[in-house]
Structure 1
Amino acid sequence: MNKIVPSGLKMLFFGACLFAGSLSCFSQNPTQKSDFWNKVRFGGGIGFNFSNGGFNGSIAPSAIYQFNDYVAAGLGANVNFFKFNNQKFWAYGPSAIVLGNPIPQIQLSAEFEQLRVNSSIQTIGGTFESDYWSPALFIGAGYTTSFATVGIRYNVLHDNQDSIYLNAWTPFVRVYF
């Protein structure tokens, strides 16, 4: 005697088997995933420089890759504003940074930035504007905690004529999460 199974029940059984099969496929352990994103930290720095009649402020978001407990490197963007008497400068551009921690509390850094400078100088004869590129290579040191560093850096390429920074020494606060 042949039993006839209704087609709706066949479809339900087929759907249940398909669903169970797909669950077992997705529950398998995939091949080992890359650990890359677990070693990427986001953050950046801010800086301020004050002098007689002048101010320089910067913000620099960035991302670094933590190779190990001692070395990290990354890329960032910089935006700077500088005002000195009748002069105003806006500067923006990319940067690359290498960080080293010989001991957990000390962070050494080397950072290269290439900034596009838009300047405006107001004089009695009118306003003079110029646009140019200004490179900077900073060597720095700071005291660090697990996520923040406070320190000072020195621009070895500082030029009193074309540099946006008032002097070669710049304090900084750098944070990475």
Structure 2
Amino acid sequence: MKKNFTINLTVLLTIVFLFGIKSEISAQETPEISTKGDFWNRVQFGGGLGLGLGNNYTDIMVAPSAIYNFNPYIAAGLGAQYNYVKQKDFYQANMYGGSLIALFNPIQELQLSTELEQLRVNRTFKDNFGSASEDFWNTALFIGAGYRNQNVTFGIRYNVLHKDSDNIYGQAFMPFVRVFF
């Protein structure tokens, strides 16, 4: 119950933040992408880092990615991800894999995205009765929308393949922050 409250609060704060941003912030211009030039002038690198610490709880995430800007409206790329999660004396997981991402920017401030993610999950549960291990692949297909200000996008995404009974994510909706340089 506490986990759902925390996730729902995060989603609510993200939505409030997205709609509470003043329009003056978005008045900054994003550099134009040249229609001519070499490959590397159109590539951007970025990704995400995550750290969650709590009472005997650790969650570390590293997710580098790169995109290729076909034009100012469309980009696509690849990402890698590694997560380590541990709840002392109860649960431990290592998750690693990759993703394909497509971005569409119909206007400068709006970014729509699709992301296909494939993660290998190795997790172990422990309790007073023993332990159990699971090794499996988890596939997620996220559809998202976010507010974009230059190289940073804040938004929310929805996993259309989410199943409560067999998934590593607590719910289908997830807030995100995406950064590319």
Q: TM-score, normalization: structure 2?
A: 0.70
- Equivalences, count: 143
| Structure 2 counterpart SS, 1:139 | strand
In the alignment, which residue of structure 2 is the partner of 1:45? 48
2:103 to 94, 99, 106: 99
| Structure 1 counterpart SS, 2:135 | strand
What does 1:25-174 align with in structure 2 at a 5 Å threshold? Answer: 35-46=38-49, 58-82=61-85, 86-174=90-178
Whole-angstrom CA distance in 2 between matches of 1:113 and 1:66? 20
In the TM superposition, residue 90 of structure 1 has moved relative to its aligned partner by 2.0
Any idea what the Cα deviations from partners look like across 1:47-76, whole Å, max 9, x if unmatched?
A: 689xxxx98664321000000010000001
Query: For residues 127 and 83 of structure 1, do their structure 2 counterparts lie closer, same or farther at Cα, with a shift above 3 Å needed?
Result: same
Amino acid at match of 1:115: L
Query: For residues 169 and 96 of structure 1, do their structure 2 counterparts lie closer, same or farther at Cα, with a shift above 3 Å needed?
Result: same
Whole-angstrom CA distance in 2 between matches of 1:153 and 1:117? 21
Q: TM-score, normalization: structure 1?
A: 0.72
Quick check: which has more Rg, 1 or 2?
1
In the TM superposition, residue 161 of structure 1 has moved relative to its aligned partner by 2.6
Gaps of 5+ in 2: 1-35
Asked whether the 8 Å contact 1:93–1:116 carries over to 2, the reply is yes
State which drifts further: 155-164 or 68-77.
155-164
Whole-angstrom CA distance in 1 between matches of 2:101 and 2:63? 11
Whole-angstrom CA distance in 1 between matches of 2:104 and 2:37? 24
State which drifts further: 39-48 or 63-72.
39-48
Question: What is the percentage of aligned positions where both structures have the same residue?
Answer: 54
